[in-house]
């Protein structure tokens, strides 16, 4: 039996998966736009993608903030 049938939460995409899907669907021109702002400056979609794809500590902070703000 498929475990996602018993627990629908298992099939729910993670914030990382949702970000990567959203990024893949963005028009190329939109990737330079700012998605969030930290105390040390703004973060564009491109910069966020780089950090998240490379599993950096800043990428974790980006995902946390995106999730807290319900951006995705």
What is the per-residue pLDDT across 40-67, written as a single tens digit (0 to 9) for each? 999 999 999 999 999 999 999 999 999 9
Tokens of 68: 């807290």
Beta-bridge partners for 38 = 41
Domain ranges of the chain: 14-68
Tokens of 6: 């018993």
What is the per-residue pLDDT across 12-42, written as a single tens digit (0 to 9) for each? 899 999 999 999 999 999 999 999 999 999 9
Please give the model's pTM, rounded to 2 decimal places: 0.80
- What is the end-to-end Cα distance of the chain in Å, rounded? 30
* 47-54 contacts, C-beta under 8 A, 24 or more apart: 48/19, 48/23, 49/19, 49/20, 49/23, 52/16, 52/19, 52/20, 53/20
């Amino acid at each position: 039996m498929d475990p996602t049938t018993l627990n629908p939460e298992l099939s729910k995409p993670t914030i990382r998966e949702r970000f990567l899907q959203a990024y893949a669907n963005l028009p190329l021109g939109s990737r330079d736009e700012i998605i969030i702002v930290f105390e040390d400056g703004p973060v564009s979609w491109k910069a966020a993608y780089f950090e998240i794809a490379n599993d950096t500590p800043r990428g974790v902070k980006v995902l946390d903030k995106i999730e807290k703000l319900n951006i995705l």
